[in-house]
Structures are given as C-alpha cells and as structure tokens.
Structure 1
Amino acid sequence: MKHDTCRRRTGCRRAGLYPAVVIAVAGAMSAATFAADRDDALAEMTGAFNGWRHSGLTNEGERFVAAYPRPPVDRGAQRFRTLIEGRLKHVDRSGRKPPTLVVNGNATPLYTDDEGAFARPWAFGAGSNSIEIVSPDGQHRQRMQFFEADRSRPQAKLRAIVTWNDPKAQVDLHVITPDGLHAFWANPTLEDGSGFDVDSVDGAGPGIFSSAAPEHGTWLFFLNYWGNFDSTGYNFDAKAHEREVITAQLILVFNENTPAEKRETMTVPLRKIGDLMLIKSERL
C-alpha cells in the first residue's frame, strides 16, 4: 500500500497540538481531588472523571497540554474527543511493562514521559463510562466512573478501536463500508457521517472509528504497520521500534453504553513495516 509521506507529515504538523476540553462537573468531586485524597492512588488525573459531566466540544476554554512523547498527534476529524490526562505518582523506569489504561473495558498500554505525565485522546459516548489505571503487576487499580450527560452527540452503534504495544510504532486502521467507502488516515470522515473520532499517532494509539447508523452488509477492518514514530517524527528504520513482534488489538463494540452492548476482540502480531492484514470481515 503506497502512502504519501509528505502529505501525511504535513497533516500531522497541523494536528500536532490537541485541544483538550475543560470539563464542567456538577454534583461530584473531580477525579484530581479523588486521586489526591487516596494514598494508594496510582495517578493524579487532571480532568474531571467522577460523577456527572457535560463535555460538549466548544471553542470556549480550549487549552494545549503536554503529553507523551510530546503533545499528541491526533488526526481524528470528528468533534467528540476528550483528553484523558494525568500524572503517575510512581514511575518505574526499570520495568519493561507499563501500566495499563482501561477505558470502558478497552485496555491499552499507558506510556508516559520521564515524569510520569500522560495524555490520551478518547471518544466517550453518552451514558455511563469508566476509566481504570492498572499497575504493571496487576495488583493495584484505580477506577473512576462518570456519566456523560451530553445527549447532543450521536450514539455510536458501531465502534472500532485499535491499540498496540509499542510506543515507537505507528499502526493504522482502515475501514471499508458495505458501499465501498474507505476510511483511513487520509480520509478520516465518510459521506455517511461515520469516521475517525480519534486517530492518535504517538504512544500506543488509540484509533477510534465510529458510526451512529452503520449500513447493513459486510464491513472490512484492516490493520497496517505503516512505520515508526518518535519525538523527531516518522521514520521507516526497520529497527526503530522497541519490540520484535508488535501486538495489535482490534476491538469492535456494538451498541455501546446500552443494555444491548456486545464486543469482539481480535489480537494479531505485526512483524515488519508494510504488514497489511484483514483482521475482521463483519456482516451487520
């Protein structure tokens, strides 16, 4: 698969600073307070992720934040994105396994900078949501639950989420609809209203594709190990990653945040730059 490297890099420079939403909370303490008041908390959260909130994306109160390895490069084009931001209280620089960030049951490695700071973009649906941080050994957990009260956003009936376990690798999700529409990094939104809410390049993703009204027929989901990425940008050095075999995970979520929610999880190995794999053919 041929990609236009210059065009891709230009797009990333434009998206290099990610506007985080300042969140209003009513009737509950903020997650930052929640974390600070507990000695066993794994992290202090900057945003408010407990109780009730309304986080519609507006032009008011937007701000830029630092992340790993620099402000997140997010190519997502849909409106409803939120930054999960905070700082680990303890950073084990000798350990090879990072903590795990689990969002609504979707797990991804939580890579940080040297001071333990992290920032991960995510797309939350209306209704009940959860964020959990799990220590590398799995013995300690910090969980935050909140109810997203913004009912103006479309509720995703199909969501595809890709994450991977190498902070220096860049893995792309490609989605083909039953009508032959193709959503990927250079075409993040489709004519039917579906598209990428989040398409995070740095760290371990995520890439999140959403559709509020998926058409009937066969959907195709591909993963492409496109190249590597670090603080200097993209590169195609075959050795410029951390793991011999990169483990990528594709999660399909149907009717998210409803009693009818279902999910499928597929895990695949990616060994070399250029690997392109059909991960799932799903008939709806």
Structure 2
Amino acid sequence: MKRGVLAALAAAVMGVATGTARADPDVTMTHPPGGWTYSGISDNPGQVSYAYPNNLIERGGQRGRTLIEGRLKQVGNARGTPTMVVNGNAMPLYTGDDGRFARPYAFGPGSNGVEIRDAEGHSRKRVQFYEANRLKSLAKIRIILAWDDPQAELDLHVITPDGQHAFFAAPVLTNGGGLDVDSVDGAGPEMFSMTAPMPGVYHVYVNYWGNFGPGGYHFDESTRQQPVITARVTLVFDENTGAERRETFTVPMRKIGDLQLVRSVRRG
C-alpha cells in the first residue's frame, strides 16, 4: 500500500565534510533513523568510519529503509530545484515548507558520498561516509529512478531473465533481486539491486502511475507541476569496484499511464 512519508529531522550530524565544498550553515544533513553506528577513526586523518545498518533487498514494505535527512534554508529559488547527488547519482531534491527533506537510499559497502547542490548547481554541502562493515555484498546491478515533479508518482519495473517482475507490489524476487527503495513520497529515488545476477536480458521500464497530494494518491492530471515529467534512470554495473560503469537515460513522461521501456541489457 502506498503512503506518504515525512520523516522528522534528527538532532545530530553524523559525517565528515570532504573536498572543497564549504560547510554551509544553511544546509544540514542528519543520520538515518537508528543512526550510522560510529566505529572509530580510519587510517586516514579526518575520516570517520561508520557501520551502516544492513540494507537487505528482502526488506518488504519499506522496513528498515535508510533515509538521508536534513534541512535546507534558502537553497531553492525561482530558477530551479536543489539537487542531491549520492555516489554520483543526481536527483532533484524537494522539501517541505520548512525546508526539511527525507530521501531514501540503499548504500553499498565502502565509501559513500552525499552532496547537496543549490538551484544554480553550486556545491553547498558534501559528506563522505566510510563504512566499517565490509561483509555486505556489492551490487552487481543497481538501477536508480528519480524524477522532477514532487506531485507525481513514477514506478520502476524490472523484468529479470527468468521472467520475474519487480515493482512496488512485488518488491522481492526469488532470484535474489528486488527493490531496495520504493519511494512513496515524491520524486524518488526508486532502486532495484541484485548482487548475483543471472545471465540473460534484463528489461527496465518506467511507469507514470499517478499523482498525489494532501488527500493521498489520485489520478487528476491537473495537479502535477511539470507539463512533461522528466525521469532519470541510471544503471550501475559492478558498483564500488574498479570495473564500475554506468549508463544514464532521460525519459519524458507525458500522461498518467505512460509505460516506457528504458533499456534492455544483457548480462553474462
């Protein structure tokens, strides 16, 4: 069942600013519910290690999803929308009236970076997390969907080589793949992951399912904010390894009910 989510802002920032981005007091980020567990200082000065909660594919019904939370002050304006970039994957960042945001994401092992950019594309906050728990498996296939209209609900659909179909009503597949994140509160991301993909062809689709507002989900076309909704689909292969490669596609969605084949890709 789809439902709106607005997570409350947590109290403490957990992370270390890296790179040249300035520490902007108008941008704060907080740890996900339950926290990233502190586990000591890494070998590199100024870097802090954390142990993320395990983001298992078999979470079902949004149990235990990891949220990136924070608050923006005067970052968006009439020129455009701020952007959140997670591990190089850029997504529009929409907030509530008070500037707070909560975006779900499923992190892999190793180093993970989160950056906030203002509407002009300037970096305002950058946090790098270094994971202590190295036992989790790397995602060999990760597919990420985000879009540019917070009043619209788009859905990611993936059909695997054995004919199984991952989507919001069936997030867990028996072959080990599934939806890590099925965003239920606007603009994504939605995410499919598989750590041991079977050989064959994978079909990736995007569906413009409907809209939502204060009264919940509905199918009134007039409530969306963009005349053409732009979906951004990123396929990441062999994530966080030296062989990592990615493909990004921009897909226009014009009306409720649109179903677009984004990519058919062969593995193995």
TM tier, smaller: 0.7 to 0.9
- Cα deviation, 1:187-208, whole Å, max 9, x if unaligned, reads 0000011101111021210000
Match of 1:136 in 2: 119
Answering whether residue 100 of structure 2 is matched by residue 90 of structure 1, we say no
| Matching residue's letter, 1:184 | F
Moved more, 120-129 or 76-85: 76-85
Answering whether residue 131 of structure 2 is matched by residue 148 of structure 1, we say yes
Answering whether residue 21 of structure 2 is matched by residue 31 of structure 1, we say no
Structure 2 CA distance for partners of 1:79 and 1:238, relative to 1, 3 Å: closer
| C-alpha contact (below 8 Å) 1:77/1:198 kept by paired residues | no
| C-alpha contact (below 8 Å) 2:27/2:124 kept by paired residues | no
Alignment of 1:234-273 (within 5 A): 234-273=217-256
| Matching residue's letter, 2:28 | E
| C-alpha contact (below 8 Å) 2:201/2:265 kept by paired residues | yes
Match of 1:45 in 2: 29
Q: Shift in Å at residue 151 of structure 1?
A: 2.7
| C-alpha contact (below 8 Å) 2:219/2:256 kept by paired residues | yes
- Aligned equivalents of 2:259, 2:28: Cα separation in 1: 38
| Matching residue's letter, 1:163 | A
Structure 2 CA distance for partners of 1:117 and 1:30, relative to 1, 3 Å: same
Structure 2 CA distance for partners of 1:253 and 1:80, relative to 1, 3 Å: farther
- Aligned equivalents of 2:207, 2:111: Cα separation in 1: 32
- Aligned equivalents of 1:12, 1:152: Cα separation in 2: 32
Q: Shift in Å at residue 43 of structure 1?
A: 1.0
Structure 2 CA distance for partners of 1:263 and 1:79, relative to 1, 3 Å: farther
- Aligned equivalents of 1:252, 1:83: Cα separation in 2: 21
Q: Shift in Å at residue 85 of structure 1?
A: 0.4
| Matching residue's letter, 1:52 | S
Give SS of 1:124's match. coil
Could you say what the CA RMSD is over the residues aligned between the two structures, in angstroms? 2.9
Q: Shift in Å at residue 32 of structure 1?
A: 8.7
Structure 2 CA distance for partners of 1:12 and 1:21, relative to 1, 3 Å: farther
- Aligned equivalents of 2:29, 2:117: Cα separation in 1: 14
Give SS of 1:239's match. helix
- Cα deviation, 1:80-102, whole Å, max 9, x if unaligned, reads 7311001113254x525221000
Structure 2 CA distance for partners of 1:152 and 1:188, relative to 1, 3 Å: same
Q: Shift in Å at residue 18 of structure 1?
A: 7.0
Give SS of 2:2's match. helix
- Aligned equivalents of 1:179, 1:21: Cα separation in 2: 42
- Aligned equivalents of 2:98, 2:262: Cα separation in 1: 36
- Cα deviation, 1:49-83, whole Å, max 9, x if unaligned, reads 8721012259xxxxxxxxxxxxxxxx965777311
- Aligned equivalents of 2:117, 2:202: Cα separation in 1: 33
| C-alpha contact (below 8 Å) 1:57/1:79 kept by paired residues | no
Answering whether residue 166 of structure 2 is matched by residue 183 of structure 1, we say yes
Q: Shift in Å at residue 21 of structure 1?
A: 11
Give SS of 1:12's match. coil
| C-alpha contact (below 8 Å) 2:9/2:100 kept by paired residues | no
Among 52, 56, 63, which residue is 2:53 paired with?
Answer: 56
| C-alpha contact (below 8 Å) 2:156/2:205 kept by paired residues | yes
Structure 2 CA distance for partners of 1:16 and 1:135, relative to 1, 3 Å: closer
**What is the aligned-residue identity percentage?**
53
| Matching residue's letter, 2:67 | L
Match of 1:69 in 2: none
Q: Shift in Å at residue 155 of structure 1?
A: 1.6
| C-alpha contact (below 8 Å) 2:10/2:69 kept by paired residues | no
| Runs (5+) with no aligned partner, structure 2 | 37-46
Alignment of 1:199-238 (within 5 A): 199-238=182-221
Among 70, 78, 102, which residue is 1:119 paired with?
Answer: 102
Q: Shift in Å at residue 270 of structure 1?
A: 0.5
- Aligned equivalents of 1:110, 1:238: Cα separation in 2: 22
Structure 2 CA distance for partners of 1:19 and 1:261, relative to 1, 3 Å: farther
| C-alpha contact (below 8 Å) 1:168/1:203 kept by paired residues | yes
| Matching residue's letter, 1:40 | D
Structure 2 CA distance for partners of 1:39 and 1:186, relative to 1, 3 Å: closer
Structure 2 CA distance for partners of 1:80 and 1:153, relative to 1, 3 Å: farther
| Matching residue's letter, 2:180 | D
| C-alpha contact (below 8 Å) 2:208/2:256 kept by paired residues | yes
| Matching residue's letter, 1:43 | V
